Amino acid sequence: MAAAVQNTYPLDRYIAALSEAGVLASRPDGCGDLEVSFATDDSREARPGTLFACKGAAFKREYLLSALEAGAVAYLSETDYGVEAPCLLVSDIRRALGVAADLAYGHPSGRVKVCAFTGTKGKTTSAYYLKSVLDEHARRAGRHAAGLFSSIEFDDGVDAGISKLTTPEAFQLERQLANAAASGIEHVVMEASSQALKYDRTACVEFAVGAFTNIGEDHISPIEHPSFEDYFSSKLKLFAQSRIAVVNLDMDHVERVLEAAAPCERVITYSMVDPSADVFADGLVHTERGIVARVRTPRFTDEMLIATPVKFNVSNALGAVACAEALGIEREAVVHGFERLRVPGRMELYPSASGLIIGVVDFAHNGMSLETMLTDLRENYPDREIAVVFGATGGKGVDRRETMGVAAGKYADRIVITEDDPGPEDPADICATIARVVSEQGNDNWQIELDRERAIRTCVRETTRPAVVVVTGKGHETRMLRKNGPEPCRADGEVLQEALAQL
């Protein structure tokens, strides 16, 4: 399938769109009929007929000069660089990027149904769950599988690969949506991060469904969100662009989320606690293949197998069911869409041959996620030791070493503290802080092993009774962020599986 191409417009079309969005500060005179056949924020992509966007705190004038030399006919910027080319001066370059990218690709979200998840945790799992349902729907209808833009990977029907950002920058996002539309894809499932919403990467994307999974304290730091209010309000922006809203009634601050969702055409709620929700589950039964739950929606009630060992993923599944309800997906695709699903690095099961250990690899990298997982496992496996291997990131999300230390200290029987993307910091210092917090919870059954592979092997080797060994924080990732940049590392699942085989 050929990649989508951009539309050709006179410069006046871009000027009008930016003006309508309220970001045009001034426009050049006498050049509105200039033909723009391509728009980009990457000087390496510039060609004759390009509108070039000057973006980023690290932007250099040399990038603009390079784009002009390659044939750019005008530029979009918050700064007039005084070059011999028309300048579309804007007050907010980030929002302007979204407007320009959406126009260049012909508003692709109007030609494909985009379903977006936001929330502190569960975005990735929810996105894979919904994609599985939509793929089942597409298979039955003889259509292309759903597109996916997640923190793990992307597939737009033309290009596929490993994701660099949870939500791409505006030009990449609109290009991927245009590829999906050109490929004949009916639905695209994506994660909408708080950063993407805050900085308008999704500024002109039309969401057929916007789903809010939950909210908690995370990503609060000088380089992410300065406060919880900034974080929360950024996520709530999702509903301003959503036709139908999906809301988890079991989350904190749900009244405020429902208030933000109210202007949408329809609000669909889900819950595992409140039977008044539109989508509700009860009668949970744990089996070897996962959890069986009785799920009720406005259109049907049926038993569903959800391939997960923990109850909180049933909530993520209900969110996906609610989105499918919003899209009118047939019952058979919804009921059977979860059965063969595996989400990379999210609650992946690795049972040992002897049955002594149930290994679990998960991406939980904050206190809220870790506490939810450990309490759920404690409830589901009351007779087993709960052992956990984890660390905390350096240089960002510094509160995680406290919140994760509290969660592990309270709910784990045995703890091995290790590195997890220490970045500019000394991992020994991060681990020492976690250990102090763990001890403050009255838990002294911990040790520090800075080498992550050895930490996993140690936790498995020292198991003496039936246990659940949880390795959390990095999930599927195969690089460790250290002082000098990313370095290759083995995925947690591979190491855990190998350690279990050596028992």
SS (H, E, C) 433-452: HHHHHHHHCCCCCEEECCCH
pLDDT at 148: 97
Mean pLDDT of 26-32: 89
- pLDDT value for 354: 87
Q: What is the mean pLDDT of residues 263-271?
A: 98
The vertex-344 CA angle with 339 and 348, nearest 5°, equals: 70
**Residue predicted with more confidence, 458 or 475:** 458
pLDDT at residue 121, as a whole number: 85
Give the CA dihedral 299, 302, 308, 309, nearest 10 degrees.
130
Residue 221 confidence (pLDDT) above 80 = no
How wide is the angle at C-alpha 210 spanned by C-alphas 206 and 213, nearest 5°? 155
pLDDT, tens digit, 9 for 90 and up, residues 297-342: 999 999 999 878 788 889 999 999 999 999 999 999 999 998 767 7
The DSSP letter of residue 144 is P
Place of tokens 């910091």: 425
Examine the pLDDT at 219 and tell me if it is beyond 60: no
Partnered with residue 242 across adjacent β-strands are: 207
Q: Is residue 347 within 8 Å of 315, Cβ to Cβ?
A: no
Q: What is the pLDDT of residue 222?
A: 64
pTM here is 0.82
Q: Which two tokens stand for residue 467?
A: 């246990």
How far is it, in rounded angstroms, from Cα 309 to Cα 359?
11
Instruction: Check residue 291 and give its pLDDT.
Output: 86
CB count, 10 Å around CB of 31? 16
Secondary structure letter of residue 146 according to DSSP: P
Residue 339, pLDDT score: 77
Residue positions counted in the chain: 503
User: If you write DSSP's letter for every residue of 2-36 in order, what string do you get?
Assistant: PPP-PPPEEHHHHHHHHHHTT-EEE--SS-TT-EE
